[in-house]
Amino acid sequence: MLYLFIIRTIPEPVKQGVATASEGASERLECPQANRHRDSDVTRIEIRRPDDWHLHLRDGDMLSAVVPATARVFGRAIVMPNLKPPVRTVADAGAYRNRILAARPDGSRFEPLMTLYLTETTTAQDVREAAESDFVHAIKYYPAGATTNSDSGVRDLERVYPVFEAMEKHGLPLLMHGEVTDGDIDVFDREAVFIERHLEKIRRRFPELKMVLEHATTADAIDYVESAPGPIAATITVHHLMYNRNALFEGGLRPHHYCLPLIKRERHRRALVAAATSGNERFFLGTDSAPHPKHAKESDCGCAGIYSAPAAIELYASVFEAAGALHKLEGFASLHGPDFYGLPRHEEKITLEKSDWKVPETVNAGDDVLVPLRAGGNPGWSVSAS
Ligand code: DOR
Ligand code: ZN
């Protein structure tokens, strides 16, 4: 990664809604290299092209509206299969992949990496076909009822153990929405309870199964992934790095900060920042950018999901800067993910520069509009060459 120390142009990293958020994180970081220079002196960095290891692209008009925001900077993305109906088979994934490729801007080489949606009727044969295809890269586990379009998900994990066995055998990663849905478990505890009740059991039973704990949100998840033996990793979203749960209630109810798993307490946010900026290769970038129309978010029963793609890499840069860890951004964004998935790292680079710009207030999507993360705000960094 190339650093350029130029004049200090931009005085302050942008405060991201939670007044104390980024300051707290940098205080806690114990990163000797961060002390070699102040990240506020760095105004330009060059990193290998990043990938997004967790992305929702939807379908139809929404698909065409959102693909360009990701394709402008990310080389590849793991595309979530929670369409309605879900992407269950290799044939479904192939057809969806073609629709995504058709939605790319002219000249784009963005590559969608497809996933299948795990149901209780998924078979070992489906797994074999997925492993033999050159475009399905993983299978996604949703607990039934946990989130958007998860009704076809799994109710009883033991029923899909034969599928896990086949995935372990074929080296196909299991991507987990790691939450329990029991009504007696507090919604803020769903991830920690999933780890305790299910994740450890799966890991022991299938020690060679490659697993990704998607959108890790708690210190519990970080501790588990750091210390578990075997091939396990976690993606971390930019919104969980930027905000603590106060952001859901700041001056009123904030539907555009509502996602699942929910944003957690400040101590969890700090643990996520520490993990993302640690250089540990088990942690990598996954935005979980999940567009919903504005009216569906701002409703008496609003949808879960944050549309972060329009400023994703810029906001990650701002978080890493605030943590004094810009030198760790390339590993997190561009190296650890491909290494885990066994894919080549990109050769091309992108350049990020400190500069002022405004995230659009809204983005048109057919007859709907989307409200991006930090709408109207200044991420403080922009992509100057990609
Ligand atoms: O907030 C979320 N939105 N979490 C998910 O797990 C799904 C996603 C979506 O598809 O909207
Ligand atoms: Zn997701």
Closest ligand to residue 290's CA? 1
C-alpha of residue 290 to centroid of ligand 2, in Å: 7
Residue with tokens 């590849």: 76
C-alpha of residue 80 to centroid of ligand 2, in Å: 7
* Res 103: pLDDT: 98
Two tokens at 174? Answer: 């299991």
pLDDT above 60 for 5:
no
Judge contact between 133 and 113, C-beta under 8 A. no
Pocket perturbation via mutation, ligand 1, pick of 63, 83, 179, 260 by most ligand atoms within 8 A of CB: 260
Q: What is the pLDDT of residues 46-55, one digit of tens each?
A: 999 999 999 9
Check if 56 has its Cβ closer than 6 Å to any atom of ligand 1. yes
We report the CATH number of the domain holding residue 185 as 3.20.20.140
C-alpha of residue 138 to centroid of ligand 2, in Å: 14
**Burial zone of 233 (CB within 10 Å; 0-12 exposed, 13-18 middle, 19+ buried):** buried
Q: How many CA atoms lie within 13 A of 369 on its CB side?
A: 9
* Res 386: pLDDT: 80
In a domain, 278, yes or no: yes
Q: pTM of the predicted model, to two decimals?
A: 0.92
Q: In what order do the strands lie in the sheet with 211-213?
A: 52-55, 76-79, 111-117, 136-141, 174-176, 211-213, 232-236, 283-285
Catalytic residue (one of 39, 51, 52, 288)? 288
Alpha carbon distance, N-terminus to C-terminus of the chain: 15
The radius of gyration of the chain from alpha carbons, rounded to an integer in Å, stands at: 20
Label residue 10 by pLDDT band (50, 70, 90): very low
Q: Which strand (E) or helix (H) includes residue 78?
A: strand 76-79
* Res 17: pLDDT: 34
* Closest atom of ligand 1 relative to the 56 alpha carbon: 10
* Res 39: pLDDT: 83
In a domain, 340, yes or no: yes
Pocket perturbation via mutation, ligand 1, pick of 54, 55, 82 by most ligand atoms within 8 A of CB: 82
Check if 237 has its Cβ closer than 6 Å to any atom of ligand 1. no
Q: How far apart are CA 82 and CA 56, in angstroms?
A: 8
Q: How far apart are CA 283 and CA 21, in angstroms?
A: 21
Query: Is-catalytic flag, 186?
Result: no
Check if 177 has its Cβ closer than 6 Å to any atom of ligand 1. yes
In a domain, 13, yes or no: no
Two tokens at 94? Answer: 């192939």
In a domain, 8, yes or no: no
**How does DSSP assign 151-187, residue by residue?**
TTSBS-GGGGHHHHHHHHHHTPPEEE------TTS-G
* Res 30: pLDDT: 33
Check if 66 has its Cβ closer than 6 Å to any atom of ligand 1. no
Segment 255-278 mean pLDDT: 98
Two tokens at 310? Answer: 């329009």
Closest ligand to residue 261's CA? 1
* Res 148: pLDDT: 80
Q: What is the pLDDT of residues 283-336, one digit of tens each?
A: 999 999 999 999 999 999 999 999 999 999 999 999 999 999 999 999 999 999
In a domain, 5, yes or no: no
Own/partner pairs, 181-185, CB within 8 angstroms, 24+ separation: 181/143, 181/144, 181/145, 181/146
In a domain, 362, yes or no: yes
Check if 308 has its Cβ closer than 6 Å to any atom of ligand 1. no
* Res 38: pLDDT: 67
Q: What is the pLDDT of residues 54-96, one digit of tens each?
A: 999 999 999 999 999 999 999 999 999 999 999 999 999 999 9
Report how many domains make up the chain.
1
How many residues belong to the chain?
386
Which amino acid residue places its CA nearest to atom 10 of ligand 1?
Answer: 148
In a domain, 10, yes or no: no
In a domain, 1, yes or no: no
Label residue 44 by pLDDT band (50, 70, 90): very high
* Res 37: pLDDT: 53
* Closest atom of ligand 1 relative to the 306 alpha carbon: 1
224: containing domain: 30-383
Check if 67 has its Cβ closer than 6 Å to any atom of ligand 1. no
